Structure formats: C-alpha cells, structure tokens
Structure 1
Amino acid sequence: MVTAAQFLGTRQERIETLSKAAAEAYWKATTTGEEQYEQEYIKMQHELIELFSSKEDYAALKELLADPKCQRNGVVLRQLILLDHEYTPNQPDKTLLTAIVETETEIESEFTRFRAQIDGQAVSDNEILGILQTEIKSEPRRQAWEASKQIGNQVAERVIELARMRNRIAAEAGYKNYYAMSLAMQELDGRELFTILKRLEELTDEPFRRMKAKLDEQLTRKFGIAESDLMPWHYADPFFQEAPTLEELDLDPYFKGKDIEALACQFFQDIGLNAADILAHSDLYERENKNQHAYCIDIDHAGDIRVLANIRDNEWWMSTMLHEIGHGVYDKYIDRTMPYLLRTPAHTLTTEAIAMLMGRLTKNIDWLIRYTDISAEEAERLTPLIDEQLGMGMLIFIRWSLVMVHFEHEMYHNPDQDLNALWWSLVERFQLIRKPEGRSAPDWAAKIHIGTAPVYYQNYILGELMASQLHYSILDELGRPSYIGERSTGVFLIRRIFHPGASVTWNELLKNALGEGLNPDYFIQQFID
C-alpha cells in the first residue's frame, strides 16, 4: 500500500502545476477574449480531469482515508478529504467530463465576447446599467432590460444540456442529482441549508413587502405610471438583485473623479492588509473583448493574486473593488508554510464573507467620512438614509438569492421541465416582480452563474450571514464603535480567519475564531430587526 506521504507528494505536485497553468490561461482568456487561451484553458482542464479520474488513485485514496494512521494526522487527513472532493465527481466517464468542460468554456467565452444590441448598436453591461439607473422613459428602459437578456437565448440550450450531463455524472457517483453531489462536495448539509433558507424567507417576507411597496410607490412617481404598470425594467438592474438608490441619497458624486483603485488600496493598508501587490498584477479597466464582470483569482497559492475589473468612478465599482480585494487579501495571508492543497480559504462561503464585509463599506458612514469628501454635517444627514439603503440592499439581495438557489435546486431535479415558467414563478414568489405579459424566454440563462458556476449562490447567502457575524465579532474584539482605519482589524482577520486556510472545515473555523458556528441571528439583528 502506498503511504500518504507518497500519494500526496506526487499528486500535489501535478495538481499545482496544472492548476497554475489553468488559472493563467483563464486569466488571459478573460482579459483578451482570444481563442488560443480558451483552448489552453480547456487543455489544462482536460489534464486535471485525467488526473482526478484515475481509478487506481481513487482506490488508493479510499484506502488511505480508512487508515487509522491517516485519521489521527489532521493535516494529512484534511488533504485526503479535499482530494476526495476532487476525485469523486471525476470518476465517471471521461468523455462526458470532457464534454462538460468544453461546454462550460464555450459558454464562458460567449459571455466574455457578448455585447447586447439596442437598435442595432452594441452596448456594454455598464451602459445597460447606466440606462436602468438613470433613464426616465419606460421604453428605453424596456429595450435595455430585454437587451440584457439576449445572451440567454444564445446559451440556454447548452446550459440545459450541461445540467443533464452534470446529473449523469452525479448519478454515476451515487448521488440523486448534481445539486446533491455539489452540496456534499462543498461540505454543506442540505437539510441545514434549506432550514436556514426557509427561516430567511419567513423573516424577510414582511419586511421585504413593506420595503418594496415603498420602493414601488417611489417608482410610480418617478416614471409617471400606475403601480400596475411597473415591470422588471423599472428596477435598478436587470435581475433586481441590487437596491436602487434612494431618492434622497446618491453616493456616486462622492466617488466622481476619484481614483477608485487608490482608495481601495489605501483602505486595506489602513487596516493592516497590504493589497498593493495584488493591484499591481491586476487588470482593472474596460477594454474591448475583455470580460465585463469582476473576479479575483489566486494563480498559484504562492502570492500571485489578481483582480479583473472594469472600474468606473462610481459607488458600485468602489464597492466591487473592496469586495474583490477582500477575496485577494484572504488568499494572500493564508499560511504559506502549509501544503499546497491547504493554501486556499476554508470554504467558498468564508471568502465570500470577507468580500461582502468589505463591499458593504461604501454604505458605512465611518468609511465615507474617512475616504471621501463628505462633510460632518452631510454625514449626519446621510446616516439614516445610508442605513436604510444598506438594509434595503440586503433584503433585495437575499430575496434575489433565494430565487437563484431554488431555481438551481429545481432545475437539477428536472432539467427538462419548463424552466422559463419555473424562473418567473420564483421571481414572482420571492421578488414580487411581475412577468411581462406573454414573455416566454430563457431569462434565467442570462445569469452566467447558472452555466459556469453551478450550485454556488448559496455561498453568497451564507457569506452574508457570516459577514454580519464577523462584523459584531470584530467590534467586540476591538472594543470600539468602528473598525475602519484600525490595524487591529487586519490582525484579527489574519490570525482568526485567513491564516488557517483550508486546514479546518468552515464550521470548525468559525467555532475556533468566533466561538460558535454559523449563526443567522447576527444578520437578522443587523438588517432585519
């Protein structure tokens, strides 16, 4: 029988080499849109599939996991468990696995190159958002909203086929469907997850209805229409996943003409987290054929961390940069002396929590006072409005996320059902948005996550819950009313959250760092009560 050290040594070295090459190819593909890099990314993914699909390796891995010596060695056991999460979904037919990677990459590439059309003119995502945030007339808004969904028609059939293929893989691995397998591989308990989701649905239902009724009343006055005429395009973004700006509150002027990149760098420096090297490696401004979204990527788990963005001088992009750099500093401060497999965040939800904690700060009055030109008098006036704006944003985001989680859950249960009807039934249930009369289009497929980041959205919800838990924990640790500009904030995060990496499960991390597991009460206290 091969020893754990032998098994981990050779596999880990190969994984590190292939993962770094895949990350580099993905970066180049999304920053240039060039097919050669897409093909290189596919090649690296194929080689990773080849590695993780080894039946001989899988059998050896299972023997090691059952070995009492391995079970007594926490560092070894954790690496073996993480490898099991990679090998298990890759045991089915390699031809099928290859087809999934190729289809995912095709869809990702299509989103990267896609530019919506309005009256025959190509428009960017930023331009569509600009229309939905500023245009007063309903018809241009409708055109922009419909344009934002055009990509859905182009990719929907391939996304459905992906769901079928993913379900076949899950069935071969012994799971009910891909959704169930994904939760298991993410170390999430399905019952616990949906218990939390049900509680959030119930606790946010009435506050959301009140908030949306107030918002709808404002929109009817703004657009000069009856409440019964409000349509999806009257809201602030294509999916109603973010809050529109309150009538009395517009934070964009405080960021107009500001160097968003420099502000973000300074903030992290002030709390003891140096992000200058991350920004130096990043690609932050709009360019033709470049991916229009934003993400952070750890290329090598050894310090090469990058952010892709398309910065404009407004509050949305300031928040987005704080969010993405939040991911980046988490990656940066993981203990580099640990084995490669453990040099990642404890879980997707834990890195999302840090990103969300940071992204919220553009609606934190202490942050605004320190990093913008806001006066003390203006700050006093804006404080209740900002609190209302942030609370509204959290309600809207949670209800939108419930749409995504329930849609994916049902889609993998039966990918051949009427997904267009399923989507709008959930939008109407959770977001109280009317489906346009007669509309039957794959609007769900315009959300890139469904095709290329499947079964991911629950981590955003859990991340928001953890972010609120962290918020109160840091304040309690510092014994101060704010952690803005406090270098102790960075010390707390490095020692309690970042440094352990994936050496422990996410739930163990929370218990060790905060004294208890994930507790939704903090989010409810901060935004709902």
Structure 2
Amino acid sequence: MDRPLPSLRASLDDFLAQLATLQYRHASGLSPDLPVRELYEDSPEISSLEAFAAATEAVPKARAKGDLLGVRRLQLLRDFIATQVEEALAAPAAEAVAQLEARSRLSVDDQTLSLGEALGQLPHEPGRGRRAVLESATGGFLWDNRGRYGERREACFRVAERLGASSYLALREDVSGIELQKLSEAAAETLRRTEDAYRDVLGYVLKKVEPTLRSLPSGNARRHDLQAGSQIPWLSGFFRREDEWPLVIRWLTEWGFHPSAHGRIRIDDEERPGKASRPFTAAVRVPDEVRLVVRKSAGLDALGSLLHEYGHALHHAHVSEQLPLELRRLGDASVTEAFATLFERLLTQEEWLKRYVRLPSATARDASRMAAFQGLTVLRRHCAKLPYELSLYTRGPSPERAEEYADAQRRALFVESHPGFFLFDVDPQLYVTRYLRAWALETRFTTQLTARFNEDWWRNPAAGRWLQGFFGRGGTDDAEALAQEISGMALTLPEAGDRLVALLDR
C-alpha cells in the first residue's frame, strides 16, 4: 500500500456507514447476526499497519509546523486505526458471540428466553425469587460460555504485538492520551468520597424493594435487587410508557431543537422481536443520517435512557458538514457521552420534572433524588470497573478474574454480583475511561450552563444555541480541552461524584 493514509481517508466514511448500518440492523432486531468479519476483509486499508505507522510518523512533522489541527486529525486517525486493528482481529469472535446470544435459549421457570430477553426482564421483575432465577440463568449462561467471550478479549494482546506496543495498556494510553494510572487514582478517590451518601440512599432503595433487604456486609442484597430498586418502581405510575416520547418531543420543541434535526435523525420505534431493550444510536452518515432506535418503555430509568440517546443523536446530527472528515466522523467518545449524560441528568432537575412530566412537587423531589442515585450507582460501578479492566488487560481473561470482578463490584455497590458477568460487563478499548471522563465533563457543562443561563437553562433557546456550537465542532477537541475552555480547569472525576452527592443531600 504506497499511500496508506490517503487510501484510508478515501474509504473511511463509507466503512463507518456500513459498520453503523450493521450495528443498527442487529440492535433493532432486523438481523440476528452481526457480520463484521466480511466488512473488515473487504476493507483492509481500515486496519492497515502501514497507515498506523504513517500517521505516527506524520504527527511530529505536523507539530513542528505548528499545524495543531493537523496534529489533532492524525491523533484521531491513530486511535481509530488501532481500534480497527483490534476489531478486525476480534471480528470472528465478535460474530460468534452475536450468534450465540441471538440463538441462546435459557430455561427460566416455565419460560424459554434468549439472553437478551432475560437480561431485559430482570430489572423489571417485582418478585425477588424470580429475579434470582433470572440472574442465575444469565450468569450461568455467561460463565458456561466464558471461552467465547474470552476470545474477544484476547484480541487486545495481539493488537499490542501487531502495533509494536510494550503492552495493551501502553497502546491505549498512547493513542488516547488518557493517563490510566491517574484516572484510576481519581476513580478510587471518587469511591471514597461518595461511599457514605451512596450507602445511605441504597438502604432506602432496598427497603422500598423489600422491607427486609439489607446491603452488604450485614445483609444479603444482590445485584438484581439493586437493579430492581434502580427502576424506582414506587414511582412507575408517574412515568407511563405512552407519555415519555411526547414529553421529550415537547421539551425539545420548546427549547428550540427540531426533534428530528430536520430529517437527519431517523426514529425507529417499531416493535419487533430481538430489538434491544434500551435505546441505541447509530451514526450512519454524520450529520445527515443518524438512526435512533427506541423500544418504548415505562419508568424513570427508561426516560433517562431515551434522553441519553437523544443527546447522542442531536450531537451527531448537528456536527458541521464543513469539518474535515476525521473531525466530523471521529473524536473523543468522552465528549459525545458528556452531551448524552447532560440530557439524562435533566431528571435530577425538579423543575424540569414538574414542567414536562407534570409531577407534583413532593414527587418531583423524590424522583430527582432517585435520578441522582441512579447516576451515582452507575458512576461507582464504573469507578470499580476501571482497575478491574486494567488487571484484565494485563493478566488476561482467565477464570481468576471472575472473583476479582465480583469483589470490585461488591466493594463499590455493597451488593453481591454474579461472577459469570466478568467478561460480559466489559466494553472494548477501555471505553470505561471515556465514560468516567464524560461524567466529569458533563459536570463542567452543567455548571457553565447554570452560570450563563440560570437554573432553567434547559428551557432557554440561547442555551440550546450555545450547546449547538459545541455540537458543531465534532471531534475537534477532546474532553480535557473542552473542560479547560469552558471552565479554565482540568477535568476532575471526584467533582462528578460530589455533584451527585449534593443532589442526594438536598
């Protein structure tokens, strides 16, 4: 390949469109398979070792010329290529896992369910005995098939060797610019600072699920109890399935956003078997074709998931068409996750809940605190996942990691987790780091929005236009650069935990 970077750039947009289409069809229930192997075989330039080497050599040259935008584009390409080399190596295992899950049949009492159906039912099951059966069935299935999931994780060691890195963690640090040890220390500090508030509200939530439930170490609460409690079932009557979509559309319209971004966002809300239980966004062409897959559900958690994915969709649909390809199509995932979380965190705003969900004041106060608890639970879960995943990618996916995973989750959440999830509850390429930085960035955005546009910034069209300005920049800036720009300070993860604790303590 004589000119690897031009060749890669020429096919990048079409490749990402095809990949997003495959992911959309799989998540929407249109296809039980995820045939990515053929896509990678047909696009060798996407995972070209020569392209990675060329981009690496070009970075210092661009930096010496003072071409900061060129440096940014090359950095994004290096991260993208490294990811695609891994994904190409993992494609056979990823296809096998997708087929395994699509064709899975789990016996649950008098039902036969797929893995996805069982996982989707579990948080919404009111009976503790039934939840225990579902957790045992799903965890047992994952444990029995740990070899398949382990094959996917093993690809990380091969990509490090292919790209000449001393280790997988060194490779991810190099291409992402994220200091893993520093972030791991911040995660540990976040766990320490949020523990008391989390445990206090956890006790309240568990008692709401079942009066005799107690958290660890004195009680016997399990992860499925926390999942059920995080659905906030005692408020379910206020978050009806048929109301959630119209209220989100009403809010966006009043705020000055076109709900479909003038046709760029295509909504798939059709009910069909095999459709993912949670909303999903697929950026097929940015900004012109963004697919938002929705399976309408009831509850506070379902509304939060819808808001989260709408944040992703609106971000992608408002990226400037004038940007260079890399800045339009690639970027620090922490940024888009921050925008998605910004939308999701609206559920912690009492006035938003009263205006759009039409909740009474006392109910809005309870719902906003429970939304903060949901956020804190997810934050603590991921703070515990980071050191576990650093160990996983150092020592490999052996069965010994299962107890390590369960212990980390136990200490963070104070409930017992099934060890069978130790390879399933892992996103590729240390995506956990993107989530953690996103939550820190979202805290900065919320602070700035409040300072600029007051507490009800979410109904001020000027605030929407301010956000659209950041949407339009695509991948131009990473999370650190945006944090410095809007606040003059570096990202600080414990700040995100402190803000959620403050919302709980109101």
- The TM tier, using the shorter chain, reads 0.7 to 0.9
Deviation at 1:7?
7.0
Q: 1:25 aligns with which of 2, 22, 27?
A: 22
Residue 477 of structure 1 corresponds to: 452
Q: 1:165 to 1:366 in 2, by over 3 A?
A: same
Query: Matches of 2:280 and 2:416 in 1, distance apart?
Result: 31
> Is 1:370 aligned to 2:355, yes or no?
yes
Corresponding position: 1:82 with 2:60: no
CA contact (8 A) 1:220 1:230 kept: no
Q: 1:262 aligns with which of 243, 246, 266?
A: 246
Pair 1:501 & 2:486 matched: no
| Residues 124-175 of structure 1: per-residue CA shift (max 9 Å, x gap) | 7577655644524x32221122233244135411222232231122134343
Query: What SS does the aligned partner of 1:291 have?
Result: coil
Pairing 1:247-258 to 2, within 5 Å after superposition: 250=235, 252-256=236-240, 258=242
2:469 corresponds to 1:519: no
- Letter of the 2:8 counterpart: R
The residue type paired with residue 253 of structure 2 is: Q
Cα distance change on mapping 1:488 and 1:110 into 2, 3 Å:
farther
Q: Aligned-pair RMSD on alpha carbons? A: 3.2
In structure 1, give the amino acid aligned to 2:47.
F
Conserved 8 A contact 1:346-1:500:
no
Please identify, of 176-185 and 197-206, the stretch whose mean Cα deviation from structure 2 is larger. 176-185
Alignment of 1:210-249 (within 5 A): 210-219=200-209, 221=211, 230-232=220-222, 235-237=225-227, 243-245=230-232
Structure 2 residue 429 is matched with structure 1 residue 434: no
Q: What CA distance in whole angstroms lies between the structure 1 residues aligned with 2:335 and 2:408?
A: 27
State whether structure 2 residue 434 is matched by structure 1 residue 459. Answer: yes
Helix, strand or coil at the partner of 2:457: coil
Residues 1:290 and 2:275 are matched in the alignment = yes
**Which position in structure 2 is the counterpart of 1:334?**
319
Tell me, yes or no, if structure 1 residue 139 matches structure 2 residue 129.
yes
Offset, 1:485 = 1.8
Q: Choose which of 40, 43, 47 in structure 2 pairs with 1:52.
A: 47
| Correspondences of 1:372-411 after superposition (within 5 Å) | 372-374=357-359, 378-379=360-361, 381-411=362-392
- Structure 1 residues 173 and 219 mapped into 2: Cα distance closer, same or farther (>3 Å)? same
Q: Distance in 1 between matches of 2:356 and 2:287?
A: 31
CA distance in 2, matches of 1:126, 1:272: 37
> 1:434-470, CA deviations, whole angstroms, 9 ceiling, x for partnerless residues?
36xxx7x5232343xx2x6341122222222222221
Partner of 1:419: 401
CA deviation profile, 1:315-338 (whole Å, cap 9, x unmatched): 322211110010011111112101
Q: Which moved more, 1:264-273 or 1:197-206?
A: 264-273
Shift in alpha-carbon separation, 1:142–1:525, aligned structure 2, 3 A: closer
The count of corresponding residues between Structure 1 and Structure 2 is: 498
Output the amino acid matched with 2:467.
Answer: L
Deviation at 1:233, TM superposition (A): 5.6
TM superposition shift of 1:352 = 0.8
8 A Cα contact 2:255 2:464, kept in partner:
yes
What is the SS of the residue equivalent to 2:268?
coil
Looking at structure 2, the residues matched to 504 and 310 of structure 1 have their Cα atoms a distance apart, in angstroms, of 33
- CA positional deviation for 1:289: 2.6
- In the alignment, is the contact (CA less than 8 A) between 2:284 and 2:290 conserved in 1? yes
| Alpha-carbon contact 1:18-1:48 (below 8 Å) kept | yes
Structure 2 counterpart of 1:351? 336
Indicate how the Cα distance of structure 1 residues 328 and 264 shifts in structure 2: closer, same or farther if over 3 A, else same: same
Uncovered stretches (5+) of structure 2, i.e. residues with no partner? none
Alignment partners' CA distance in 2, 1:210 and 1:445: 30
The 2-side partners of 1:343 and 1:189 are apart by 25
Identical residues among aligned pairs (%): 14
Match of 1:192 in 2: 182
Alignment-mate amino acid for residue 487 of structure 2: L
Q: Mind listing any 5+ residue stretches in structure 1 that lack a counterpart? A: none
In structure 1, the residue matched to 2:345 is: 360
Please report how far the alpha carbon of residue 280 of structure 1 lies from its aligned counterpart in structure 2 after TM superposition. Answer: 5.8
Question: Is the CA contact (8 Å cut-off) linking 1:116 and 1:150 kept in structure 2?
Answer: no
Kept in 1, the 8 Å contact 2:385–2:432? The answer is yes
Q: Which string of whole-angstrom CA distances, capped at 9 and with x for unpartnered residues, describes residues 41-80 of structure 1? A: 332233344443242x444434432325874223333222
* Contact persistence 1:399–1:431 (CA under 8 A): yes
Match of 1:67 in 2: 61
Hey, what's the Cα distance between the residues in 2 that align with 1:283 and 1:178? 37
Tell me the distance in 2 between the aligned counterparts of 1:351 and 1:306. 15
Deviations 1:217-260 (A, max 9, x none): 5555266999956231651428xxx73528xx51x222325343
Q: TM-score, normalised by structure 1?
A: 0.84
> Helix, strand or coil for the counterpart of 2:28?
helix
Aligned mates of 1:214, 1:90 — CA distance in 2? 45
Structure 1 residues 428, 38: CA separation in 2 closer, same or farther (over 3 Å shift)? closer
- Structure 1 residues 225, 23: closer, same or farther in 2, change over 3 A? closer
